A and B are shown apart, each in its own frame.
Chain A
Amino acid sequence: MPRHSIAVVFAGSGGSGAMSAGAVFLRAAARAGYFGMMTQLFGAQVRGGESAALVQIGVEPIEAQPDRFDAFVALDWDKVEQFAAEIPLDETSLIFADPSAGAVPAGIAKSKGRVVALTMSDPGESKIDRALHGKRVNMFAAGCLAALCGLPADDIGGAVESIFGEKGGDVVGANRARALAGVQAAPALALDLKLAPPTHDRRWLISGNQAVALGALRGGVRFVGCYPITPATDLVEWLAPHLLKLGGRLVLGEDELASVNLALGASYGGVPAMTVTSGPGFSLMVESLGLAVAAEIPLVVIDVMRAGPSTGIASKTEQSDVNLAIYGAHGDAPRVVLAPLSVGDCAGTAEYAVYVAEALQVPVIVLSDQMLGQATAVIDPVSDRPPPQSRKTNGAAAGQPFKRYATGGDAVTPMPLPGTPGREWVAEGLTHNEAGLPASGAAMHAAQIHKRARKIREFDAGDRWGEVTGEGDTAILAFGSTVGPAREAARRLAEAGRNVRVIALRLLAPLPAKQLAQALTGVRRVVVIEQNDTGQLYRHLLGHKAVPVDAESVARPGPLPFRPSEIVNYVA
């Protein structure tokens, strides 16, 4: 019986090309009309170290890491064993290895998976060629596995071309030749890994980080201040050339204190602005979250979360910045916190973040995570729409002095572009009066705090607050990269006759009380799932009485992703 999906790992030492193998395999599947997702594992070495590409492809969208892998392809066995804990294999898994690479290490062999001998190197290759370009066993492996899954040779060759295209004809030709050699070697293995026929639609191959960047551009961001940090750097690298093409500016600050304030200054100057970081940088930016709240300046902050605290694990995921995003700052500093629901949703959520920041004149934090950010997925295209920008720059009657921070009427007050005659105002971090002049009286302090609180309170996200899938009186509440596994778990439970609802929360703050209450009608059991040790989201929900007091918390630290089976086991 043809499969609906297959999960394959390509692993090897530095220089073996595991990531390229995964990329070719995934892109070939995308060209053939399948969905897919690829995540990456890296060893401790900074550069050129051992790595593994974890790829799953199938006829339906894939949003979670699989429970187990069907195939493990060893490009070599150098230090690859260290990944064993993060790559679940079992006795039905196939382990592909070149006999010349040596014996299967104990950590992998203990899965009892069947070892398939596959000679991957090119016997005819000259020594010089090999020294120059490596053995290209990676392309052979990718071609072979793709062919075993039933992907057409044309799509495999096309994938090689689009991935190596920039490197010139020689490189493309040599790599394609090895990939097609792999295709030809497939039938002799007599293995049946064929996928069911795909549905052919135009799809995108995109990473979560790229999708955030795309969404921000579509939302109208034209200034970015940032400082490099894993795993957010690739977002900025992808964004930079596109931003420049659109006439925008990117400035690398000397640190995150500068980066966030560069963005804040640019936003004050009238340009939708954003900063991009991860936990350690986000900690430094907290000071200016308060400033953006007090001075009422729109600001988008992207936090691609990684394992913390402190430097933690730079390249691995965790959802442990929830407290900081929602509450980080001294004083009462209400803001908006959003989290994307999937790789594809990174675009829509980032675009929406720009819209909300501009509309409410507040900082909006997008909590992505390494798992979403650095996963590459085949998704349905994000629909095109014009950038929804709506900063209120005029409206109030000109008068002297201009009341930038008027408290009586609409909580969102006009914020004219600096340089507008007759509408001069000072953005002020000190408690100020309506005209923006420093004030320290109790009444004005309260009035301004209430004005800012009201902006947040009156904000209605409508149906963008989150998504509900499934039915049943048990609800799993999740956000970010745990949404995918939660939905997959619910799907499996439904297949087994047990209906479970998944409430995927996009709006973490302010909590959408009304919509959540509606989503929870008829629910008798609530399970809040998150990837941190202290149940940060759970406590936030309980504190706001957004879930019943007997709601359950499933909270554990990263970096291992939640697997659907883990959630099924807990809920069942």
Chain B
Amino acid sequence: MTYLAKPKFHHPGLPKNELGYTHRDYEGTVSTLCAGCGHDSITGAIIQACFELAIEPHRVAKISGIGCSSKTPTYFLGNSHGFNSVHGRMPSVLTGANLANRDLIYLGVSGDGDSASIGLGQFAHCLRRGVNMTYIVENNGVYGLTKGQFSATADRGSKSKRGVTNTDNSIDMVAMALQLGASFVARSFSGDKEQLVPIIKAAIAHQGAAFIDVISPCVAFNNHAGSTKSFDFVREHNEAVNRLDFISTRMPIGLQQEPGTVEIVEQHDGSRIALRKLDADYEVHDRAAALGFLQHHAAKGQIVTGLLFVEKEAQDLHAHLDTVEEPLNKLGEKELCPGSAVLGQINAGLR
């Protein structure tokens, strides 16, 4: 087994949300990711956001691709629906599901490899279509699951723990999302729950294509410490069995940052990233300005986090297609085939 069921034990004193659900009702099985993995913090933030929003779990469909990040839906919303698809294809599966049933809340969960490398086309087209969803990329710049090769979001000039330098330019998914017409675009950091939870809540509430790029350090492959060899060895052999007995003492990177400041964050490998948190008076409704702001700071080597853009009157794919309110999967024989009359007409047309 590659998962551990959590004991179903409800402490009577656990706080409940307005629907009477506890935090535990939004959890999944025990994570098997490396201890300290940024993805686990994002899992926590999603659980927190859904708990606080008092979402009925059965109204959520979590759709994912393949990668450590795409495994995380097993670790949250254990009482929800979902589709764990194949590498890079989450966006099209989500789009199809959404067109069949517009009544559910769609959470797309993906990684930088899943969405910026193999699935870049699908990522782009899904945003371009304006599918009503919350699309989260857990961005670590590497293919964590396949042991740390550079993904398409890795910065040019960065070094892998094997000493290879990345010579390709990186893809900034936030800039792409802005350019592609996503109606809600944000970037956050896995360690900054105070920022991330409200962003996820806002994205779920947003009726349109919401994209969140969450920087999420990979403790295993941003790690150049002396224990590398044995670490690798364990991982090499780990995939065939399971991950449970892999223990790391690293702690997730935590961060509480004041708005409008720049903070230098030291990663597990000792490398540093500079995060600029948006000012409190940042104007979130200007797409062009958001792109400029982003690129201006990128040129200075700073990664901007926060809610960068939100469209005031967002429209989703159903509005573009002018579909009826009733989900397609609920339309019965009667609505779809009015007395088989239309089919009858088609038949008659062939005579």
Contact = CB atoms under 8 A, between A and B. Distances in A.
Partners in one complex: yes
Interface of A: 202-206, 210, 214, 217-218, 222-223, 225, 242, 245-249, 251, 253-255, 257-259, 261-271, 273, 287-288, 290-291, 295, 381-382, 384, 386-387, 401, 417-422, 424-430, 433, 437-441
Contacts of B57: 424
A218 B343 contact: yes
Given A261-B92, A269-B329, A441 B1 contact: yes
A381 B350 CA distance: 9
B99 A269 contact: yes
Contacts of B340: 384, 386
A249 B101 CA distance: 12
Interface of B: 1-3, 29, 56-59, 61-63, 71, 73-74, 78-86, 89, 91-101, 103-104, 121-122, 125, 242, 321, 323-324, 327-329, 331, 333, 335-337, 340, 342-344, 346-347, 350-351
Nearest to A379: B350
A440 B333 CA distance: 41
Nearest to B323: A249
Contacts of A401: 78
Contacts of A205: 350
A223 B242 contact: no
A202 B74 CA distance: 58
A267 B96 contact: yes
Contacts of A428: 83-84
Nearest to A440: B2
B132 to A, nearest CB: 13
A217 B100 contact: no
A381 B347 contact: yes
B104 A419 contact: yes
B99 A223 contact: yes
Nearest to B63: A265
B328 A248 contact: yes
Contacts of A387: 333, 337
A413 B101 CA distance: 21
B328 A427 contact: no
Given A205-B350, A261-B85, A295-B83, A268 B93 contact: yes
Given A258-B122, A270-B329, A420-B58, A288 B100 contact: no
Contact of B100 (A242, A245, A270): A270
Given A424-B79, A426-B84, A430-B84, A203 B351 contact: yes
Contacts of B104: 418-419
A261 B99 contact: no
Given A261-B85, A418-B81, A269 B351 contact: no
A261 B81 contact: no
B92 A253 contact: yes
Q: Taking each of B80, B89, B122, which has the highest tally of chain A beta carbons within 10 Å of its own beta carbon?
A: B89
Contacts of A206: 350
B125 A254 contact: yes
A426 B81 contact: yes
Q: Taking each of B328, B331, B344, which has the highest tally of chain A beta carbons within 10 Å of its own beta carbon?
A: B328
Q: Taking each of B85, B92, B121, which has the highest tally of chain A beta carbons within 10 Å of its own beta carbon?
A: B92
A264 B343 contact: no
A438 B71 contact: yes
A265 B84 contact: no
B342 A245 contact: yes
A249 B328 contact: yes
A419 B59 contact: yes
Given A247-B336, A384-B347, A417-B101, A269 B96 contact: yes
A210 B82 CA distance: 35
B100 A265 contact: yes
Given A254-B121, A268-B83, A426-B82, A421 B58 contact: yes
Q: Taking each of A248, A259, A418, A430, which has the highest tally of chain B beta carbons within 10 Å of its own beta carbon?
A: A418
A273 B58 CA distance: 23
B89 A288 contact: yes
Nearest to A433: B1
Given A381-B351, A430-B84, A265 B321 contact: no
Q: Which 7 A-B pairs have the closest CB atoms?
A: A265-B96, A269-B100, A270-B329, A261-B92, A426-B82, A266-B96, A265-B93
Nearest to A430: B84
Contact of A437 (B74, B85, B323, B337): B74
Nearest to A270: B329
Contact of B337 (A246, A288, A425): A246
B101 A438 contact: no
Contacts of A222: 328, 331, 336
B336 A246 contact: yes
Contact of B329 (A259, A264, A417): A417
B89 A427 contact: no
A248 B336 contact: yes
